[in-house]
C-alpha cells in the first residue's frame, strides 16, 4: 500500500496510538516525524520503526519553542501534509480532589499542546493546500466515568476545537477531524488498570472487565485506531471534516441500565 507515498506526517506521542499510527503511515509510504517526551518510550519507538521512514525526536509539548523547532525541522525538506495529535496524559480527581497543578498539567498536554502543534504546522499545511489534522479525543468527551474531571474536560474541548479549526481551515483545502476511542490497550490504560487493581490485584482482570463493558466484548487495539486515522488522512475521506468519529466498540451506543 502506498496511499501516503511522498507525503510527510507529524505524529505526537511515541507510544500506544501515536506509535501505531506512525508505523501504519510509514508502511504506507509516508515520511513520519514522531515525537515523545519519555526517553525509554522513544527508544522503543525507534526499535519498532526498524527501517521504516520514522524519525523519533524528544519534544516537550508544553514548551512552545521545542514544538516550533520540531515542526520546522520536519517541514524543511518537503513541507507538511498531515498532523496527528495523539499525545495525552490521564489525571484523576473530582471537584474537590483535582489539584490546580493537575488541572493545569492536563489542560497543557491534552488541549493546549494540540493547538500549539496545529498552530505551528498550519502555515506548512496551508502552503500545500491539502492534507488533514486528526486529534485523538475520547468517548469521555461525550459521557464520563467518575473521578476524571480534568481529563474529561479536555476531551470535550477537543471536540469543539476540532469543529472550529475545520471551519477555518476548509477554504484552504485542509480537513480537521477528531476521533473518540473507547478503551484501547495502551500504556495509559495499563497504568489505569494497575491503579484500579491496587496492591495484589490483577490488572489483566481489570482490562477484561473494561472489555465486557463494550458491546463487542473486548477492548480495542492501537492498530485498529491507526487504521481509522490512516483512512481519515487519505483521499478516501476527502469529504470528511469538522466531525468526530467514535471508535469505541459500541460503548456509547448502549444504556448503562
Would you please indicate which residues are annotated as catalytic (active-site) residues? Answer: 151
Using DSSP's 3-state secondary structure scheme, residue 33 falls into: strand
Report CA-CA distances (Å) from 246 to 137, 140, 219, 253.
9, 11, 14, 10
Report CA-CA distances (Å) from 229 to 78, 107, 129, 130, 179.
22, 23, 20, 16, 8
Question: Rounded to whole angstroms, how far apart are CA atoms 19 and 35?
Answer: 9
Question: What is the phi/psi pair of residue 156, to 5°?
Answer: -65, -35
Q: Which three cell numbers stand for residue 220?
A: 480495542
Using DSSP's 3-state secondary structure scheme, residue 218 falls into: coil
Question: Rounded to whole angstroms, how far apart are CA atoms 9 and 31?
Answer: 6
Q: Which three cell numbers stand for residue 174?
A: 485542509
Q: Which residues contact 31 (CB under 8 A, 6 or more apart)?
A: 7, 8, 9, 53, 55, 78
Amino acid at each position: 500500500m502506498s496511499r501516503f507515498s511522498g507525503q510527510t506526517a507529524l505524529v505526537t506521542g511515541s507510544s500506544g496510538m501515536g506509535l501505531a499510527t506512525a508505523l501504519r503511515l510509514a508502511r504506507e509510504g509516508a515520511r513520519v516525524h514522531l515525537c515523545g517526551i519519555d526517553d525509554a518510550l522513544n527508544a522503543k519507538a525507534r526499535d519498532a520503526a526498524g527501517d521504516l521512514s520514522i524519525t523519533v525526536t524528544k519534544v516537550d509539548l508544553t514548551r512552545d519553542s521545542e514544538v516550533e523547532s520540531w515542526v520546522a525541522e520536519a517541514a524543511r525538506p518537503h513541507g507538511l501534509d498531515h498532523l496527528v495529535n495523539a499525545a495525552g496524559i490521564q489525571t484523576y480527581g473530582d471537584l474537590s480532589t483535582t489539584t490546580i497543578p493537575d488541572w493545569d498539567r492536563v489542560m497543557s498536554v491534552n488541549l493546549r499542546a494540540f493547538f500549539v502543534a496545529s498552530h505551528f504546522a498550519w502555515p506548512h499545511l496551508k502552503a500545500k493546500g491539502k492534507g488533514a489534522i486528526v486529534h485523538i479525543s475520547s468517548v469521555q468527551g461525550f459521557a464520563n466515568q467518575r473521578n476524571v474531571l480534568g481529563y474529561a474536560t479536555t476531551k470535550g474541548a477537543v471536540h469543539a476545537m476540532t469543529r472550529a479549526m475545520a471551519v477555518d481551515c476548509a477554504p484552504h483545502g485542509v480537513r480537521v477531524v477528531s476521533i473518540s476511542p473507547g478503551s484501547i490497550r495502551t500504556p495509559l490504560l495499563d497504568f489505569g488498570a494497575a491503579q484500579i487493581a491496587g496492591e495484589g490485584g490483577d490488572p489483566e482482570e481489570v482490562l477484561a472487565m473494561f472489555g465486557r463493558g463494550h458491546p463487542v466484548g473486548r477492548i480495542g487495539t492501537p492498530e485498529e485506531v491507526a487504521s481509522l486515522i490512516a483512512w481519515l488522512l487519505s483521499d478516501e475521506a476527502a469529504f470528511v471534516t469538522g466531525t468526530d468519529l467514535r471508535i469505541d466498540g459500541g460503548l456509547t451506543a448502549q444504556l448503562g441500565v
